[in-house]
Structure 1
Amino acid sequence: MKSLQRAWHRHSPQLFLGELLEKRWMEPIIPFTLTIAVFLAFAIMIPRYLTAGSLQELMRNFAEQGMVAVAMAFSVLSGGIDLSVGAVFAMSNFLALYLYLILGLPLPVTIVLVVLFGAAMGAINGGLIAYGKTRPFLTTLVVLIIVRAAYNKVTVAFTNELASIDSGSSTWDFMGSGRVLGIPFNMLVLILLAVGTHFFLTRIKPGVHIMAVGSSRKAARHAGVNVKRVLFSAYVMSGAIAALAGILYAARQSSSGTDTGVGWEINALAAVVLGGISLAGGRGTIARAVMGAAIIFMLTSGMVRLGISGNLTTAIIGIILLLAVGFNVKWVKNKGKVLQKVYVTPSWVDFEPPPSVERGSGTPFAENDRLKNAEAIALNMIEGPEDIILDRKDNLYTVNRNGSIIRFLAPDYTVREEFARIGGRPLGLAFDRDQNLLVCIAGMGVYGVKPDRSVFKVTDRTTRTRTRLKDDSRLYLADDLDVAPDGKIYFSEASTRYELTDWALDGFEGRGNGRLICHDPKTGTTRTVLKNLTFPNGICISHDGQSVLWASTWLCQINRFWIAGPKAGTSEILIDNLPGYCDNINRASDGKYWLAFVGLRTPVYDLAMRNPVFRTRMVKQIPPDEWLCPGINYGCVVKFDDNGVVTESLWDPGGLSHPTITSVREHKGYLYIGGLENNRIGRIRLQDADPTWEAHKSYWGRA
């Protein structure tokens, strides 16, 4: 029974559900589901609905409505509304017919002039709204009334001419009825338009500015965005897209009636809302607008083909849209809450009783006072020195919580200077052969600082796990690193599910969310070497350069991955069942290794790790400040050898000076101590250590 429970918690379907809900494209799941449901329903009810001819006709009739919805989406995403799109569409339809078929202008000239007309109508809207500070609803409503009135006048005036037109142009006919690979031409234009505008709004600066202004005009203004110009451009594009739809409609229908485009602005607005685009602006996508338009179009055309009367059709569509919008609003509002409920998925972790840490117990982990009187360096001059390192000139480097690398100058370390400002939250440090200081940065990847203080990016991506729904190619939580004799950089990514602010949640899960990654500076390639690791943390290349030692914090293990020799490519557990949660590993002068304990195991927490249901309820039902956590108010450092034998430990009982120790470095007879929550760097003299030993010589000799 226990084996089944372990397997269930280790491979819980909740993992997939959590990653599915995390995807941004899950926000429009209601309109997407409704689109599929409506399509399938009519496919069942209407004979020959799925034939090629029927589908082509549906696409041909839908394309212009989809474009008008895209036009409306531009104005809504900018934080406004454009009620004139239906009238601009109708007038553009007339102008295309008049300029090309009556006046005989060349088709390219006609297209340009009509699109310019739509852009001009958008410019009137945008100019009044952005620079005249008028209300979008009233402004575009007035433009709607004026353009619609003008359209009705010119349509009546040119009734005879419009009735007798004949294109006589294969290009014009192809625009109206042609197909490309079986797809109607106007539908192909809609697809290209949707893809292009999506790319524009998400990748191109002017488009991104439209989304920013829609989200918060004040924030966009403070970020240096020209809000007025952005609003103006959004309405210009809205008008131009509506005009393009009018041109294609003219080519398809070759007629212009008084009812052309009537009510299309309402349908477009309904499509935008149904697709989940916020009327407040700044949230949504072009795809959502197209989905909303498709739902409305399929409902309307399907009801007609089923022979349902017009009034009943309108009522049924209204009820369906009302319910769909209600569900969609509820879903968008509560999606985050649902995700919080299901995302954290604890696994089953079995722990054996750890070795005793009681004072006088006789184990190498027995509590003592060897760190209690450690010298305090940089007291109150540093925040959270998670890792520390020294260069060949004995200068001391550490990371600061504000995103900078701080250097304290030898010999007394009283002079503090900002060596480099990188940003993010710097964590692990390492020097390469050329004395470039390499640093892992949470949320950013691996960066480097040259001796002249210039900052460069090493890598921020690795190979993606193709079997996962979540794109894990971006580095979420690069933690610690070291450099192999061949120059390759090995570093740990503690978690691919959680960022630094939520690192404790990874501990509550206790599953393999991390990985070991290798970057080769010679080729510039980065690849994942080991995956599904449980919070891999400290990284250290062994003294012989044959293997990588890495610490699994939540499993309290030290592991070895062979990178050279007969065992190359294989892994093994070097030390298991440690009494503390291990962090960074670094070389010692006697051929052994120093290991920092960020916290100590407790019987209660060990019991909780064997009970995933308890941890799930704790995360869901109890405030974070009341969660059960490991004991981190202890200061402890241990030393072990290449055979995994722990030989000694150094303690600061109660963690008065050095709680949450995350790093220890030996340098010329001293041991330097860093911690994630500390305001100092500790230093003690090692009585039996080589006073001339330094890490750079250990790695690179005297180079």
Structure 2
Amino acid sequence: MMRSFVSLISLLLLLSFSSSVLSTKKSSFQKLPVPGNRTGPEAFAFDSTGKGFYTGVTGGKILKYLPKKGYVDFAQITNSSKSSLCDGALGTTNVEKCGRPAGIAFNTKTGDLYVADAALGLHVIPRRGGLAKKIADSVGGKPFLFLDGLDVDPTTGVVYFTSFSSTFGPRDVLKAVATKDSTGKFFKYDPSKKVVTVLMEGLSGSAGCAVSSDGSFVLVGQFTKSNIKRYWIKGSKAGTSEDFTNSVSNPDNIKRIGSTGNFWVASVVNSATGPTNPSAVKVSSAGKVLQTIPLKDKFGDTLVSEVNEYKGQLYIGALFGPFAGILKL
């Protein structure tokens, strides 16, 4: 299984590099190649300065991108993340020692950056960067195994995050999808109480999650089922969940669009031969698809992992690809 997974990663990387030489005459799209031998800028976060972005890459590093400087090291999940062992670590290679940042988001009030590391659990990084502090790698004595999406409630600072599976780890993601594993979970972490709570269980490939701008609900994706659920935080339905939409194929990360009430979802259409037709899908707070932007001409067959709108531009991440993309709206 590991050999086939590495082969798939190699194929996806080859396709990603091939796509990077496609015509980019349209100035509305910009590619920002990840430095060194690392890949997979999976998700993005933006601090209060409004300059550049933060992203996690293979080998356990968090990079900061500044328009005039490019990428610089900001933080690392483990001490090993800065070593030669983790340089060039593709996909899930050495993931138990290096880490693999997946979902990331700031608490804008404190400046803390929260990270859901796929293999090593929930972490927090202080404003100055450096070595991440592990918050939890289990709940109720049960290891997380495979964390994925993360968001911070803009009104309370409570952290919400998901696990893709509670049976399979990151190395066995293909097996989790192929068997239609439904052991994913949805959690919350309250920094004031320092407690992790399980909010939902039985999810099929729970990838992204996003809190609404008013903090009334959280959207939770199910990649394997092509479904997004809504979990209510406030109101008469608080503590309950319902189907939000089935109109987005294989939803990965979900991101709110400021205070508009709308969301961007990274989507791929799985076929028998592999992931195809990556796209950015905008949905309303009622679950209606408002816009779909095809991304295949820019990312090839790479698994697009996140679409995050900031100051009139879409920041697009890729699970295995060698670059982050910026698309001007």
TM-score of Structure 1 vs Structure 2, range by shorter chain: 0.7 to 0.9
In 1, the alpha carbon distance for the partners of 2:181 and 2:199 equals 18
Which structure shows the bigger proportion of residues in helix conformation?
Answer: 1
1:375 alignment counterpart: 30
Q: Which AA in structure 1 matches 2:134?
A: K
Uncovered stretches (5+) of structure 1, i.e. residues with no partner: 1-368, 465-472, 603-627, 687-703
In 2, the alpha carbon distance for the partners of 1:667 and 1:521 equals 26
Aligned counterpart in structure 2 of residue 650 of structure 1, from 290, 293, 298: 293
Contact 1:462/1:517, CA 8 A, preserved across alignment: no
Q: Which AA in structure 1 matches 2:110?
A: D
Residue 431 (1) aligns with residue 88 (2):
no
Which structure shows the bigger proportion of residues in strand conformation?
Answer: 2
1:396 alignment counterpart: 53
Residue 681 (1) aligns with residue 319 (2):
no
1:372 Cα offset (Å): 10
In 2, the alpha carbon distance for the partners of 1:581 and 1:639 equals 14
In 2, the alpha carbon distance for the partners of 1:591 and 1:513 equals 30
1:591 Cα offset (Å): 2.6
Q: 1:509 to 1:453 in 2, by over 3 A?
A: same
The total of aligned residue pairs comes to 280
2:212 alignment counterpart: 542
Aligned counterpart in structure 1 of residue 151 of structure 2, from 482, 499, 502: 482
Deviations 1:678-697 (A, max 9, x none): 111111111xxxxxxxxxxx
In 2, the alpha carbon distance for the partners of 1:518 and 1:664 equals 23
Q: Which AA in structure 2 matches 1:420?
A: A
Partner SS, residue 391 of structure 1? coil
1:577 Cα offset (Å): 4.5
Partner SS, residue 494 of structure 1? strand
1:421 alignment counterpart: 76
In 2, the alpha carbon distance for the partners of 1:573 and 1:566 equals 17
Contact 2:32/2:323, CA 8 A, preserved across alignment: yes
Q: For the pair shown, which has the larger CA radius of gyration, 1 or 2?
A: 1
In 2, the alpha carbon distance for the partners of 1:577 and 1:685 equals 25
Deviations 1:102-123 (A, max 9, x none): xxxxxxxxxxxxxxxxxxxxxx
Partner SS, residue 383 of structure 1? coil
Deviations 1:283-326 (A, max 9, x none): xxxxxxxxxxxxxxxxxxxxxxxxxxxxxxxxxxxxxxxxxxxx
In 2, the alpha carbon distance for the partners of 1:544 and 1:392 equals 19
2:135 alignment counterpart: 458
1:236 alignment counterpart: none
In 2, the alpha carbon distance for the partners of 1:650 and 1:438 equals 29
Contact 1:372/1:651, CA 8 A, preserved across alignment: no
Deviations 1:141-187 (A, max 9, x none): xxxxxxxxxxxxxxxxxxxxxxxxxxxxxxxxxxxxxxxxxxxxxxx
1:463 Cα offset (Å): 2.5
2:257 alignment counterpart: 588
1:635 Cα offset (Å): 2.6
Q: Which AA in structure 2 matches 1:388?
A: F
Which structure 2 residues correspond to residues 26-41 of structure 1 after superposition, within 5 A?
A: none
Contact 1:406/1:417, CA 8 A, preserved across alignment: yes
1:522 Cα offset (Å): 1.3
Q: Which AA in structure 2 matches 1:441?
A: D
Partner SS, residue 586 of structure 1? strand
Which structure 2 residues correspond to residues 256-267 of structure 1 after superposition, within 5 A?
A: none
Deviations 1:204-261 (A, max 9, x none): xxxxxxxxxxxxxxxxxxxxxxxxxxxxxxxxxxxxxxxxxxxxxxxxxxxxxxxxxx
2:172 alignment counterpart: 502
1:660 Cα offset (Å): 1.0
Q: Which AA in structure 2 matches 1:677?
A: F
Give the TM-score normalised by the residue count of structure 2: 0.80
Q: Which AA in structure 2 matches 1:404?
A: K
Q: Looking at both structures, which has the greater relative contact order when contacts are Cα pairs under 8 Å and sequence separation is at least 6?
A: 2
1:415 Cα offset (Å): 2.7
Q: Which AA in structure 2 matches 1:461?
A: S
Contact 1:516/1:529, CA 8 A, preserved across alignment: yes
Which structure 2 residues correspond to residues 148-167 of structure 1 after superposition, within 5 A?
A: none
1:587 Cα offset (Å): 1.2
In 2, the alpha carbon distance for the partners of 1:656 and 1:452 equals 33
Contact 2:247/2:289, CA 8 A, preserved across alignment: no
Q: Which AA in structure 2 matches 1:407?
A: K
In 1, the alpha carbon distance for the partners of 2:59 and 2:265 equals 26
1:694 alignment counterpart: none
1:558 Cα offset (Å): 1.1
1:461 Cα offset (Å): 1.5
1:654 Cα offset (Å): 5.2
Contact 1:537/1:551, CA 8 A, preserved across alignment: yes
Give the TM-score normalised by the residue count of structure 1: 0.38
Contact 2:104/2:116, CA 8 A, preserved across alignment: yes
1:652 Cα offset (Å): 2.2
2:187 alignment counterpart: 517
In 1, the alpha carbon distance for the partners of 2:28 and 2:309 equals 17
Partner SS, residue 174 of structure 2? helix
Q: Which AA in structure 2 matches 1:583?
A: D
Partner SS, residue 138 of structure 2? coil
Which structure 2 residues correspond to residues 553-568 of structure 1 after superposition, within 5 A?
A: 553-568=223-238
In 2, the alpha carbon distance for the partners of 1:488 and 1:399 equals 21
In 1, the alpha carbon distance for the partners of 2:190 and 2:308 equals 25
Aligned counterpart in structure 2 of residue 671 of structure 1, from 314, 321, 324: 314
Aligned counterpart in structure 2 of residue 533 of structure 1, from 173, 193, 203: 203
In 1, the alpha carbon distance for the partners of 2:270 and 2:300 equals 20
1:632 Cα offset (Å): 1.5
The Cα RMSD (Å) is 2.2
Q: Which AA in structure 2 matches 1:449?
A: I
1:196 alignment counterpart: none
Contact 1:372/1:657, CA 8 A, preserved across alignment: no
Partner SS, residue 664 of structure 1? strand
Deviations 1:410-461 (A, max 9, x none): x34x432111111311111010131111111122111011012242122212
Contact 1:379/1:680, CA 8 A, preserved across alignment: yes
In 2, the alpha carbon distance for the partners of 1:657 and 1:391 equals 30
Deviations 1:514-536 (A, max 9, x none): 00011111111112111111111
Identity of aligned residues (%): 28
In 1, the alpha carbon distance for the partners of 2:135 and 2:58 equals 21
Contact 2:28/2:328, CA 8 A, preserved across alignment: no
Q: Which AA in structure 2 matches 1:396?
A: F
